[in-house]
Structure 1
Amino acid sequence: MPTPPIRSQAMTAVAAAASVVGFLGTLYYLDIPSMVQQRTKSRKVDARCYSTGQQDKPSLAAFRILTQQVTLKETYPLAQTITKNIPVYDCTTFRLDDEAWVDRLQDELYHILLNGPGVYVVKHFFTDLGTIDAANTAYDRIIAHELAETDGAKGDHFAPASANSRIWNSFSKLCLEDPESFVTYHSNPLFRVVCEAYLGPAYRLTSQVNIVKPGGQPQACHRDYHIGFETPEATAKWPKAMHTASQLLTLQGAVAHTDMPVESGPTRLLPFSQLFEEGFMAYRLPEFNDYFLESYVSLPLEKGDAIFFSPALFHAAGQNSTDDFARSANLIQVSSAFGKPMETIDTIPLVDACWEHMMAKYEAEGMSAEVDALVRAVGEGYPFPTNLDRRPPAPGGMAPESEQNVLRRALGEGWDRERIVGELKAMSQAAAA
C-alpha cells in the first residue's frame, strides 16, 4: 500500500531536520565554529587596545545578559548550597587528608573564578575563633600605635579616607607584633588549598585589615589590582590580552574577623561580571555603576568565614548602616609567582650616572620619543609593591607615583642630579617594608 503523500512529506521533513541537526552536531563536536572564528581572527588585524571613544563604549546590554546567568548546584556538587548565585562551601565537611577529593574541590574553585560566578564563600574557614581573637587583639594594638603617630587618616583605593580603621600590610605587622598569633593564623592549610587552586604553586600572600565603623560609607563599584588600580587613561593603554592576564595573576579574598550581618555592609558582589572582557574599561561608567547598584548581591558572614573572588569581579564594600557595630575583615590578596621579573634593576645608580646626559637630551628635544623611551628604560613604571603607610594612594588617584612619573616631573622642572637622586632614594626608603 503506497505511503500517503502528506505522511511522506512529513517523513521527508523529519529526515531533513534530523540531517541538519546531525550536521550541526558534528560541527559542534569538531569545534568548527571556533576554528572558523580563529581563522577569521588570524587574517584580520584588530585594534590591540580598547577605545575610549563614545561610539565604542562597552555594551551594557551585553553586560546585563552575561550577569543574568544562573549558578547551578549540579555544576558544583561539593558546595553546601548556592545562595544568590554564589557557591557556599562548609569547611567542616572538607576531607583534606583525601588528595583526590581536594583535587576535585580545587577544580570547582578554579572553575568558579574562571568560568562561573567568580566568587565563593567558605564557611568556618577558621574553626578556632581564638585564632581570630588573638589576631584582633594584636590589630587593636597596631591601630592604637599608628593613631598615636599619625592623624589617623588612611587612604582607600576606591573610597575617600574616613574614620574607618585600616592596617596596610597587616600580614607583616601581625608577625612583628605577635609572632605566635601570626604562626597560628597562617598555618591554616586552607590558605594553600584556595590559593593553589587558582594561582598554582609559589604564590605570595599579602593582607590589609579594614574595620568599617557605624555609618561607614560604601566603596564605589570597581575591579581590583593590577589594571583595576589604573586611571581610565592608563587602562586604555594596556593591550586587551593584558586585561585578561591581570585578572589571572591575583586572587582576592577576605576573612571575617567579626560577624558581618547584611546591615553592617559585607562586600557587594555582581556574579559573572568577571567574564566581561571590557570590564576594566566599563566599571567607572555611570550606567554600569547604576546597574551594579540595582543588581548586586551580598551575603552575611560569620566570624571565621572567608570569601574569595576574581579581582575582575565587579564589587564594592557595603555601607555599615548599624548604630553600634564595627565590621572587621582581613583583606587577602594573593599574587602569582609569574608577576615578578627575572633580574633586579636598581634605578638610583643608573640615574646618578646618566642624569646630566638625560637632562641635556631633554633640554635639546623636549619629551621626544627618544627621551620617553629612555625614561621607560631607566625607571620603574609600576608603583607597586610599595609601603602604603608611607606612600598612600595619591589624592584623586589609586596609586602613588612611579619612578617614571618622578623622572618625567624632574626633567620638566629641571632638577639637578642631587635632587633627583635624593628624591628617588627617599621614594625607595618610603616604599621599603
Structure 2
Amino acid sequence: MPPSTSGRNTAAIAAAATAASIASIASLLYYLEIPSLLQQRVQARTVGGPRCYSPNAKPSLPEFKLLTQQETLRETYPLASRIEKNTPIYDCASFDLTDVSATDKLQDELYHNLTSGPGVYILKHFFLDPSIIDATNQAFEEIIAYEHQASGGAKGDHFAPGNANARIWNAFSKHALQDPESYVQYFSNPWFKLVCDSYLGPGYKITTQVNIVRPGGKAQMPHRDYHLGFQTDEDVVAWPKAVHQMSGLLTLQGAVAHTDMPLESGPTRLMPYSQTFGEGFRSYRRPEFIEYFESNHVSVALEKGDAVFFSPSLFHAAGENITADFDRSANLIQVSSAFGKTMETIDTLPLIDKTYDLLAAKYRAEGLSMEVDALIRAVAEGYPFPTNLDCRPPAPGGMAPESEQQILRRGIIEGWDRERMMSELDDMREASSANGKIGRQTTVFGT
C-alpha cells in the first residue's frame, strides 16, 4: 500500500475515533442534562423577559393547535384498557387495589397523563355497586326539591347560560346531612384516595357540586377551572407566569356519572393536551380559541358509575342535552391541594375595625395611592374563596363574589363610615360561612 494511502487511512480512523468520542461525551452530557443545567446557569444571570403575559399580545393559536393535535399512544399508558378519542380509559374492575406495586404504577400513569399527556382519563366502573349511586341520587332529588321550594329561583352558575341546570352547591356537606348512610358508602370508595393522591398527594380536600342538565339544556362555553379559571381576563394577566403553571397543579377536577351519559345527552366536551398550553387561562374566552374548540373537541359517552378526571387547566365544557326526555346528572368533583392554606389563622375583621378610620383618612388625603392600596391588600382577604355559594353565588356573568379587599376598597371610595363597613363585612363573613344557609342542620332537607 502506498505511504500516502496508509496515511489517509490512519487519519480517517483517527478522525472517526475522535468523532465517536465526541458523540459519546455529548450523549453522556445529554444524559446528565448538562446542556439543560448550563442553560439554567445562563438564564439565572439575565432577566429573560416579563414575569407576566402581556395583555396586548395575542396568545398563539398555531401553538395551541400544535399541542392539541398530538396523538395519545397506547404504549404510553399500558394499564389502560383502551384509548378512545385520545383519552385513556381504565377499567376499575380489573385492578386489585391491595396490590401496592400495581397501584403505584397506575398512579404514575395517571400523574403523567394530567401533567404531560392528554390531561384527562376515564375510569369505568368507578362505582361497581349501582345501588350506591341510586341511594345518593335519591338524596340529591330531595335536596333539590327542598331548595327549589325554599328559594323559588335558579342558582348562579359559573359558566352555564340560562337556567336549564339544576345545581346543588356544596353537595359534599348536604349529602352527609341528608343521608349519612349513602354518604359513607359513597366516599369510602378507595378509588377517590388513589386518584386524588396520584395528582395532589396526601392532605387533599374534596368538594362536590351536583349538576343536572335537563333536555334542551345548552352547552357551556369552553373554559378552564379553579383557581385562575375563575378570574376575569383583566385579572388573569396580573398573575405571574409561574402562577399560571401552578394553578393547574393545585386542583383536581372530575365528575362521577349519576346517570348514563350517551353522546346526545351532552357529556363533557374535552380538548386533550390543552392543559399544556401556557397561556390557556387568558385564551379560552377569545373567539378564535372558542371556534377551534367547537370544531375539534372530543366527547366520550359514560355509563352510570363511571368517572372522568382531568386537569383544571384542560379546555372543557359541558355539552348540550339534545334528548327529548333524559336528564344528564353528574356529581362534579373538585379536590384541592393541602398547600392552598396559610401557616397561621388570621381573623381580618378586628384588624380592619381597628384601622378603618385611619385608612379612610389616608384615602381622603391621598386618594387610592400606592400606600393606601398596599394597606388594603395587607389587612383584608383578597380572595373570595372558599365561600358559601348558596348565599354568595357568582354574580350574573361573573365567576366569583366580592372579596374583602374589594368591599373595603369600595367602602372607602364611597365614603362609608366604620360602622357600615364592619356591618357589610360581618354580613359577608356570615354569608360565606358553612353555616350561612344550611346551618348546623342535622335533619333531612325534605322528602
Q: Which amino acid aligns with 2:39?
A: Q
Q: Match of 1:25?
A: 27
1:13-412 equivalence runs, <5 A: 22=24, 24-45=26-47, 46-53=49-56, 56-412=57-413
- Listed one character per residue, the Cα deviations across residues 198-235 of structure 1 (whole Å, up to 9, x for unaligned) are 00111000000000011111111111100110011110
TM-score, length-scaled by structure 2: 0.92
How far apart are the structure 1 equivalents of 2:18 and 2:71? 34
Q: Which amino acid aligns with 2:402?
A: E
Q: Please list every run of 5 or more consecutive structure 2 residues that lacks an aligned counterpart in the other structure.
A: 435-447
Q: Which amino acid aligns with 1:100?
A: S
Helix, strand or coil at the partner of 1:332: strand
Q: Which amino acid aligns with 1:393?
A: P
Q: Is the 8 A contact 2:270 2:317 kept in 1?
A: yes
Q: Which amino acid aligns with 2:368?
A: M
Q: Which amino acid aligns with 2:52?
A: C
Q: Which amino acid aligns with 2:154?
A: A
Q: Is the 8 A contact 1:263 1:320 kept in 2?
A: yes
| CA drift at 1:19 | 7.0
Q: Which amino acid aligns with 1:278?
A: E
How far apart are the structure 1 equivalents of 2:228 and 2:59? 17
Number of matched pairs: 431
Q: Is the 8 A contact 2:128 2:305 kept in 1?
A: yes
Helix, strand or coil at the partner of 1:339: coil
| CA drift at 1:395 | 2.2
How far apart are the structure 2 equivalents of 1:201 and 1:19? 47
Helix, strand or coil at the partner of 2:305: coil
Q: Is the 8 A contact 1:116 1:272 kept in 2?
A: yes
Q: Is the 8 A contact 1:352 1:417 kept in 2?
A: yes
| CA drift at 1:343 | 1.4
Helix, strand or coil at the partner of 2:40: helix
| CA drift at 1:394 | 1.4
Q: Which amino acid aligns with 2:81?
A: Q
- Listed one character per residue, the Cα deviations across residues 6-25 of structure 1 (whole Å, up to 9, x for unaligned) are x9999999989867765653
Q: Is the 8 A contact 1:208 1:332 kept in 2?
A: yes
Helix, strand or coil at the partner of 1:337: coil
How far apart are the structure 2 equivalents of 1:344 and 1:161? 39
Q: Once superposed, which parts of structure 1, at least 4 consecutive aligned residues long, lie more than 6 Å away? A: 1-4, 7-20
| CA drift at 1:142 | 0.5
Residue 364 and residue 124 in structure 1: after superposition, are their counterparts in 2 closer, same or farther (change >3 A)? same
How far apart are the structure 2 equivalents of 1:264 and 1:424? 42
Q: Is the 8 A contact 1:164 1:212 kept in 2?
A: yes
Helix, strand or coil at the partner of 1:33: helix
Q: Is the 8 A contact 2:164 2:216 kept in 1?
A: no
Helix, strand or coil at the partner of 1:428: helix
Q: Is the 8 A contact 1:63 1:273 kept in 2?
A: yes
Q: Match of 1:426?
A: 427
How far apart are the structure 1 equivalents of 2:19 and 2:325? 67
| CA drift at 1:279 | 1.1
Q: Is the 8 A contact 2:224 2:312 kept in 1?
A: yes
| CA drift at 1:401 | 0.3
Residue 364 and residue 17 in structure 1: after superposition, are their counterparts in 2 closer, same or farther (change >3 A)? same
Residue 10 and residue 186 in structure 1: after superposition, are their counterparts in 2 closer, same or farther (change >3 A)? same
How far apart are the structure 2 equivalents of 1:172 and 1:315? 26
How far apart are the structure 2 equivalents of 1:296 and 1:203? 30
TM-score, length-scaled by structure 1: 0.95
Q: Which amino acid aligns with 1:52?
A: P
Residue 15 and residue 159 in structure 1: after superposition, are their counterparts in 2 closer, same or farther (change >3 A)? farther
Q: Match of 2:444?
A: none
Q: Please list every run of 5 or more consecutive structure 1 residues that lacks an aligned counterpart in the other structure.
A: none
How far apart are the structure 2 equivalents of 1:337 and 1:261? 35
Q: Match of 2:439?
A: none
How far apart are the structure 2 equivalents of 1:67 and 1:8? 52
Q: Is the 8 A contact 1:209 1:328 kept in 2?
A: yes
How far apart are the structure 1 equivalents of 2:316 and 2:12? 54
Q: Which amino acid aligns with 1:70?
A: E
How far apart are the structure 2 equivalents of 1:316 and 1:10? 62
Q: Which amino acid aligns with 2:419?
A: E
User: How well do the aligned residues superpose, as a CA RMSD in angstroms?
Assistant: 2.2
| CA drift at 1:160 | 2.6
How far apart are the structure 2 equivalents of 1:178 and 1:261? 28
Residue 367 and residue 252 in structure 1: after superposition, are their counterparts in 2 closer, same or farther (change >3 A)? same
